[in-house]
Structure 1
């Protein structure tokens, strides 16, 4: 057993999503507070059928959670940054994954290329970012960082379930 075995996630056996599932997920990703009756009008199913499909999508893991998408500046965190973290050895250690407990850290990604991990963080100010970086350097295994500040965000959204027909055609899918 290696050090990372306990933090590896096993993929769930997912049932294949059909077009109706994708359309329901698309509607929910735009507004998860919609009534099943409103979604049923768009996808052409009865509200109880939409409800049953949503229950199955939750059980299968296709829907991980229903959350409010917060506005960074409105909650006092106007500064968005991406931090590339270089580590000693493999970056996906318990110490690195514990960074997910920090409220400033929104995402943690293992990466290829010239970095080990990419963190998406939101903070109140450059001084707060400096404090976060200081704490990051105190984390076991961190060797170095490169930080990229965003000037503005043009698109930010959750995973989309729909598939572009043009992309499917280009890839030979169907």
Structure 2
């Protein structure tokens, strides 16, 4: 489904604050609350909006160490096998298959270096993993949600 301008504006408003009322969204974009609700219902039914969630700062959970791990897999490893192995690890917040030498890139949050190392060891111990390569994040500069709304974390520090 391709979003039109009004739908995009609704999605951006919800991405900023998913608890925003239909009336508030409508006043921002020039629609009535019932019209906004109909559009949100249509976007959900079409699968353009897949759900509503809360974003939690990992540091609030005590997870202040962030890193990325490249996974190099043994031959013929399926993306489903990688997914099954990683989904059991709550520290893994994102994982994608990628182009280039690595087979997958994994984003991890951990409490400290030792915790990060333990997660790295668990990932490296998966039967499909041939080797890993990791980097630690020093300072996050910019984070965006999938809606394209910017959350400039450099100014939050």
TM-score (norm 1): 0.80
* Cα pair 1:77 1:124 within 8 Å, conserved: yes
| Unaligned stretches of 5+ residues in structure 1 | 1-13, 163-174
SS where residue 144 of structure 2 aligns? coil
- The 8 Å contact of residues 91 and 110 in structure 1, kept in 2 or not, is answered as no
The residue aligned with 1:144 is 131
* C-alpha separation in 2, matches of 1:56 and 1:28: 15
Task: Classify 1:101/1:159 alpha carbon distance in 2 versus 1 (closer, same or farther; 3 Å).
Answer: same
**Runs of 5+ in structure 2 lacking a partner?**
150-157
Q: 1:87 aligns with which of 73, 78, 81?
A: 73
The answer to whether the aligner puts 1:119 opposite 2:106 as a matched pair is yes
Partner of 1:106: 93
* Secondary structure of residue in 2 paired with 1:101: coil
- Whole-Å separation in 2 of the counterparts to 1:71 and 1:50: 29
- Equivalent-residue separation in structure 1 for 2:91 and 2:137 (angstroms): 15
Give me the CA root mean square deviation. 1.5
Answer whether contact 2:91 2:108 (CA < 8 A) is retained. Answer: yes
Match of residue 26 from structure 2: 40
Structure-to-structure mapping, 1:148-163, within 5 angstroms: 148-160=135-147
Q: Which structure shows the bigger proportion of residues in strand conformation?
A: 2
Corresponding residue number in structure 2 for 1:29: 15
Offset from partner CA, 1:83-135 (integer Å, 9 cap, x none): 11000124434431111231101111010012110001101111011111111
Deviation track 1:124-174 (CA, whole Å, cap 9, x = no partner) reads 111011111111121111011111111111221211268xxxxxxxxxxxx
- Give the corresponding residue for 2:152: none
Given the two structures, how large is their TM-score scaled by the length of structure 2?
A: 0.88
**How far apart, CA to CA, are the structure 2 residues paired with 1:25 and 1:93?**
29
CA contact (8 A) 2:72 2:132 kept: yes
Work out the CA distance in 2 between the residues paired with 1:38 and 1:107: 32
Distance 1:110 1:91 in 2: 11
| 1:73 and 2:59 aligned | yes
